[in-house]
Structure 1
Amino acid sequence: MRKRKESPAVDPQLQPASTLPGVGPAVAEKLAARGLLHVQDFWFQLPLRYEDRTRLTPVAALRPGMTAQVLGRVVAVERGFRGRPTLRIVVADDSRGGLALRFFHFNRAQLAQFAPGRRILCFGEARPGLHGLEMVHPSYRLLAEDAVVVPGDRLDPVYPTVDGIGPASFARLVDAALQRLPDAATLELLPADACARLGLPGLREALLLAHRPPPGDELAGFADGSHPALRRLALEELLAHTLSLRRQRVALRRHGAAAVRPGSRLAKDLRGRLKFALTGAQQRVLQEIAGDIARPEPMLRLVQGDVGSGKTVVAALAAADVVAAGHQVALMAPTELLAEQHLANFRAWFDALGVEVAWLAGKVTGRARTATLARIADGRAQIVVGTHALMQQQVAFAGLALAIVDEQHRFGVHQRLALRDKGLAGDRVPHQLVMTATPIPRTLAMSAYADLDVSVIDEMPPGRTPVTTVAVNADRRGEVVARIQAACAEGRQAYWVCTLIEDSEEVEAQAAQSTFELLGTALPGLRLGLLHGRMKPAEKQAVMARFKAGELQLLVATTVIEVGVDVPNASLMIIENAERLGLAQLHQLRGRVGRGAAASSCVLMYKGPLSAMARERLEVMRASTDGFLIAEKDLELRGPGELLGTRQTGLAAFRIADLGRDAALLPHVQEIADALLAQDPQVADRLVARWVGAAARFAGA
């Protein structure tokens, strides 16, 4: 009789969650909603905290605030109705101490369980009660008379809640998944010496420690992320994300791109018409871009520069070379206000040189839209400036060779992919130049932008005067208003920024509308304008045009003016409720002044009392105008997710790693990534699949 051929065993890492005991279709659906699709996903679902049930504490030894496990007997059962049903169980042990267990939610079955004399094992936090210490809704287990209680030798994990799955059931699923952990050699994907050099355990040991740590002083390391087991897991997760981005970069570079010879006559003519000389930093970045676009492979470059450092003119000079070579350029910005600012600059630079700059945004409709789409499609529109409208299906380019994206972190991944795809021509894709005026700390850029070459414009144009920043309590509002009066009397202009459009009872912030009315009364001789996000595009544009032309002296606005507003005559910025904003946003708003030669000031008006973090933010703003230093501090205070806007970057949220906390690991991550990509790309693929999975295809957008 022939022996039946056995099917190969499925890698436990790839086994679906439905293979775990107790996981039917309904439970599998709930787990999938939390991203728990495979057995391996449970390995990396770490506990939120741990409970120490490794010892028994005598009742008499309990103290208020102590979380402990107690073994005793029920001595009394009391049921009360003071306002709501209450069940109070009195427990005692040989230490002659008494402890009350209080339940506000219970049923008849529970009530019947608690009979005087029953042995009970309970765990919870001891709190002061009316008649001594009590535990409110402790976890408990009623024991048989002959049951032996053997405390565990490991801490008990408490996992994040999953809708429809109780904590005990979920813990059992994690236990079942951990039982399928392969041996250390099979599980390990990192090079043999990578962890040893850093004094970190292997992956199997790290996982078992993270799920079931021994009691002792090491517990603090799990809370702050410094424990070697957590650092080992963070190292691998950061490596997987870096490999994902780098792999996307390699894949994209397999495509071709238009090779553009730099130094065209058009670029020279544009440079000759500029009313200012380029800084050394601008010239250096231009050379880096020129080297990229001269190659027949797509450029992937991020240009970082502080507010006012001159990123836009660098992009325009790069665009001139691409246009001179017979190709098209697209420049996309996240808001109409910022896009219109770019449109005004590009038309001022290119109209006289015979280059057609087209405009495409949501408000371009009807015949104007049809005509613009036709000029883009046949190539007459050589440069197209716009918003998200550039990515709509009807937009077709004749030959898009350079895609410029400003403030790129504000766009979703699919949107950036859609713009790049507008330039697909056979195997060729456009060069990509992304810009940001939000400086990214070097440690963050190493991980978040591992697929991009990074250029930094770290020099401000001559003639710019540093902005003086002061923090003022809102009680001194009258002095601030007087300061505006004085500045405008000298022929300067000012901004007053509010955080809301309309008054709200829930948030104590002066709304732009009411502030506009109040300031109109307080400053009757000044010409005021109002700008907020709910105004129609034409209204916003008209207000900004009047302010830029000097017809308005004071602009009351929401944070809609954070980017893209360039009025050199504005020398005073008032930011109301500054304590509510992050450092990056405060720095962006401050960058709206100091754009001319006049001495400029920024007043951070706050409402006390300040939290420690708010006080620190305002102090950083007062002490420094260096955007990169501010970005480092912002990373320290707020963490990477908020700073990058990771919901939109295409990076899956980190499960374990924290870019701020684990920054010291990033140089090692880069080193390991280089080695794996060069020597063992299959292992790199397995690491990406383990941690990033399906999100990897978007990571390089």
Structure 2
Amino acid sequence: MRGIGPQSAEKLAARGLARLRDLWLWLPREYEDRTRLTPVAALQPGVAAQVEGRILATETAFRFRPMLKVAMADESRGTLTLRFFHFRGQQANAFRAGARLRAYGTPRPGQLGLEMVHPSYRVLGDEDAALDEALAPVYPAIEGIGPQTLRKLVERALGALPGDDALELLPCEWLAEQGLPTLRDAVLTLHQPPTDVDMGLLQAGRHPAQRRLALEEMLAHHLSLRRQRISLQAHAATPLPAKGKAVAQLLAALPFQLTEAQSRVFDEVQRDLARPMPMLRLVQGDVGAGKTVVAALAALRAIDAGRQAALMAPTELLAEQHANTLRGWLEPLGIRIAWLAGRVTGKAREAVLGEVASGAAQMVIGTHALMQQGVDFKDLALAIIDEQHRFGVQQRLALRDKGGVDGNVPHQLVMTATPIPRTLAMAAYADLDVSVIDQLPPGRTPVQTVAISAERRPQLIDRIRAAIAEGRQAYWVCTLIEEQEDGATRIEAQAAQTTFETLRDAMPDIRIGLVHGRMKPKEKQAAMAAFKAGELDLLVATTVIEVGVDVPNASLMIIENAERLGLAQLHQLRGRVGRGSAESSCVLLYQAPLGAIARERLDTLRQTNDGFVIAEKDLQLRGPGELLGTRQTGLAEFRIADLSRDADLLPRVQSMADALLADSPELADRIIERWVGGAARYASA
């Protein structure tokens, strides 16, 4: 393409722009109205506008930093100052007194009335310069490519936009039913909106042109996930019939009865396992809903059939907790459990690997160490993945590829304690069947949640003492104090260490433990075991205890810097208390002043304990990428669609996908290729 050399191509490629169609879909982030002039006297602070007038005077100063000020006025007798901090001498010389000037920017109050800082401008000759006929697009910035250059490149690309017959992939009647334009019309409208466009709809992302593109993009992602599911189900899996005794034995031995929700979800899992195609089921349940027992019962179906089951968790802490729980349930039934994590080394590791390869280990529990080379299963029939969004896609594929014999793949049961809003589950997990354990075990008391300013920290000492005096235990969670990527765990660990020392000095008679990410695994495990055994009263920890730690006697949770965490993470941390029958509390300690979004988060937590309500709110506040851990799910980021805004399109997307896969598979491929391209292969994990 004219105007793009090797360096520009590299810069564009870094933002995913490699083909003409990528530029067609590189949509403006906002629009500037240069179709009209606003009298200077009518300017409003904070409202972008275009003005035209004569230059009255210019002034350059180099006191603290270079500055160029240009005063202008028009026939409305209003005056405006243009202020530049970055300028060249040649530029300053162009602003001659009396010259006509047209400028576009956002006015703000200055020392001598309104001013615009670094507006875009043109010094005009005496001839009339025509105003724009359409709104001017402002594109997301690309490093190393100026805004004017980028605008020209997009204009050039639009010049090569083909006609509807070559470009349109959706049937005309579908678009007519929805009242949506063709793809060509939608693209042109969004790059060059007419002056009478409804700016309210455009800014809200709900203009028919935006809806048209969002619909096709969501359809492409949905089709890609469904395709992956179809290709995976083309593999065979060994059916696991319900004929062994172990399931009944475990149900009889458990000190509790399954809730209705647990029984319903286990029935759904059993039906899947009995089929000769691989199960692909996501089990979601709120914190403490009892997913582990459903996983244990599913594992027994594989073990009863003489096969192996594996459970993979994202952290050693959580994996070890699963191992302890499952040992307590399964070893009395004569089942051999193997434990494999990064710290199992040397001869101990060789012994475990031998048991896994020979089939002597019927249930294998571990971290991502399960997927490493040299870990060979004799006959893996069921892979259980806990907190699946914590794993990279290749890791999950690696575990799947270790399974089965004779080309079979294992059944997959994926669990998450991060509730996923229904709309997001429909879009992000179209390749999985979704089950929800939507009931907590009886006897759980809702956690009372309060938010208090960090200035009231000393009062918490009394609160901790009161809980401990009643024979209870407490957590004090230190979240990241400074937001920086590298060294984050170090800063978090320092914060925890400092808090630990401060609390130990304030309460010398209280038994306090410490857990953070930079401790050796053995030290972490020892502290957790001591807390669980009641040998510690208070545990100071970082967010490593977010998932899966189960101490029913803990009834007080204090979360420091709560305003820095997302709703899902706060809800997970709060779920560490309220696991017994005692009344439990969660204190959200925040640094004032609170921003609007942080306040909304803390208010939501105070008002509800329902993880699904919290997840819906989180989706609104943070968007789907962060909620799912998009960078790891393998779902490409949506470029145009927004799952919280466009959720109402999902039922239509599903019915369109059904029709395309049944009647026009080649068309489905073209839609996937246009929007998803190479990212499609990841979605089968």
Query: 1:620, 1:549 → 2: CA distance?
Result: 33
Q: Post-superposition shift, 1:299?
A: 0.5
Contact 1:305 1:457 in 2 (8 A): yes
Residues 351-402 of structure 1, C-alpha deviations (whole Å, 9 max, x = no match): 2222211111111111111221122122222211111111112211111111
Q: Post-superposition shift, 1:60?
A: 4.6
Contact 2:339 2:366 in 1 (8 A): yes
Of 580, 583, 593, which aligns to 1:609?
A: 593
Letter in 1 for 2:120: S
Matched, 1:289 2:269: yes
Residues 230-263 of structure 1, C-alpha deviations (whole Å, 9 max, x = no match): 1221111111111111111011111111111124
1:296 to 1:509, Cα distance in 2 relative to 1, 3 A? closer
Residues 12-37 of structure 1, C-alpha deviations (whole Å, 9 max, x = no match): xxxxxxxx211122211111111001
Aligned length: 680
Query: 1:519, 1:423 → 2: CA distance?
Result: 49
Partner of 1:103: 84
Give 1:146-545 correspondences, 5 Å limit. Answer: 146=127, 148-216=128-196, 218-423=198-403, 425-500=405-480, 511-545=495-529
1:528 to 1:373, Cα distance in 2 relative to 1, 3 A? same
Deviates more, 1:647-656 or 1:84-93: 84-93
Contact 1:303 1:454 in 2 (8 A): yes
Query: 2:492, 2:530 → 1: CA distance?
Result: 31
Contact 2:283 2:291 in 1 (8 A): yes
Deviates more, 1:460-469 or 1:22-31: 460-469
Q: Post-superposition shift, 1:43?
A: 1.1
Of 31, 35, 52, which aligns to 1:50?
A: 31
Partner of 1:81: 62
Partner of 2:107: 126
Q: Post-superposition shift, 1:520?
A: 1.9
1:570 to 1:111, Cα distance in 2 relative to 1, 3 A? closer
Query: 1:574, 1:525 → 2: CA distance?
Result: 19
Deviates more, 1:532-541 or 1:607-616: 607-616
Contact 2:481 2:561 in 1 (8 A): no
Partner of 1:40: 21
Partner of 1:4: none
Q: Post-superposition shift, 1:94?
A: 4.9
Matched, 1:555 2:539: yes
Q: Post-superposition shift, 1:591?
A: 1.3
Letter in 1 for 2:29: L
Letter in 1 for 2:162: P
Contact 1:74 1:116 in 2 (8 A): yes
1:637 to 1:63, Cα distance in 2 relative to 1, 3 A? closer
Identical aligned residues as a percent = 65
Partner of 2:679: 695
Query: 1:682, 1:555 → 2: CA distance?
Result: 58
Residues 183-217 of structure 1, C-alpha deviations (whole Å, 9 max, x = no match): 12332222323333332222111111111112356
SS at 1:619 equivalent: helix
Q: Point out where structure 2 has 5 or more consecutive residues left out of the alignment.
A: none
Contact 1:501 1:558 in 2 (8 A): no
Of 117, 123, 139, which aligns to 1:136?
A: 117
Partner of 1:673: 657
Query: 1:567, 1:386 → 2: CA distance?
Result: 21
SS at 2:258 equivalent: coil
Residues 96-130 of structure 1, C-alpha deviations (whole Å, 9 max, x = no match): 55444333322233344444454443322334445
Deviates more, 1:443-452 or 1:422-431: 422-431
SS at 1:511 equivalent: helix
Contact 1:502 1:512 in 2 (8 A): no
Query: 1:263, 1:569 → 2: CA distance?
Result: 38
SS at 1:699 equivalent: helix
Contact 1:189 1:683 in 2 (8 A): yes
Query: 1:503, 1:225 → 2: CA distance?
Result: 31
Query: 1:502, 1:162 → 2: CA distance?
Result: 28
SS at 1:157 equivalent: strand
Give 1:626-641 correspondences, 5 Å limit. Answer: 626-641=610-625
Residues 155-183 of structure 1, C-alpha deviations (whole Å, 9 max, x = no match): 00111111221111111111111112221
1:601 to 1:65, Cα distance in 2 relative to 1, 3 A? closer
SS at 2:684 equivalent: coil
Query: 1:131, 1:600 → 2: CA distance?
Result: 59
Partner of 1:12: none
Q: Post-superposition shift, 1:546?
A: 0.9
Partner of 1:17: none
Partner of 2:553: 569
Matched, 1:585 2:573: no
Query: 1:695, 1:502 → 2: CA distance?
Result: 33
Letter in 2 for 1:32: A
Partner of 1:644: 628
Letter in 2 for 1:23: I
Contact 1:503 1:510 in 2 (8 A): no
SS at 2:612 equivalent: helix
Contact 1:154 1:215 in 2 (8 A): yes
Query: 1:581, 1:129 → 2: CA distance?
Result: 37
Q: Post-superposition shift, 1:670?
A: 1.1
Query: 2:610, 2:241 → 1: CA distance?
Result: 35
Q: Post-superposition shift, 1:511?
A: 2.6
Q: Post-superposition shift, 1:77?
A: 4.4
Query: 1:490, 1:135 → 2: CA distance?
Result: 64
Partner of 1:13: none
Query: 1:396, 1:78 → 2: CA distance?
Result: 76
Query: 2:110, 2:325 → 1: CA distance?
Result: 70
Q: Post-superposition shift, 1:90?
A: 4.2
Q: Post-superposition shift, 1:84?
A: 3.2
Contact 2:83 2:117 in 1 (8 A): yes
Deviates more, 1:652-661 or 1:511-520: 511-520
Contact 1:122 1:138 in 2 (8 A): yes
SS at 2:632 equivalent: helix
Deviates more, 1:77-86 or 1:543-552: 77-86
Contact 1:502 1:511 in 2 (8 A): no
Taking structure 1 as the reference length, what is the TM-score of the superposition? 0.92
Partner of 2:580: 596
Letter in 2 for 1:541: Q
Letter in 2 for 1:79: T
Contact 1:309 1:460 in 2 (8 A): yes
Q: Post-superposition shift, 1:283?
A: 1.1
SS at 2:270 equivalent: helix
Query: 1:420, 1:154 → 2: CA distance?
Result: 54
Partner of 1:625: 609
Query: 1:545, 1:71 → 2: CA distance?
Result: 73
Query: 1:281, 1:234 → 2: CA distance?
Result: 35
Letter in 2 for 1:524: P
Q: Post-superposition shift, 1:63?
A: 4.6
1:167 to 1:393, Cα distance in 2 relative to 1, 3 A? same
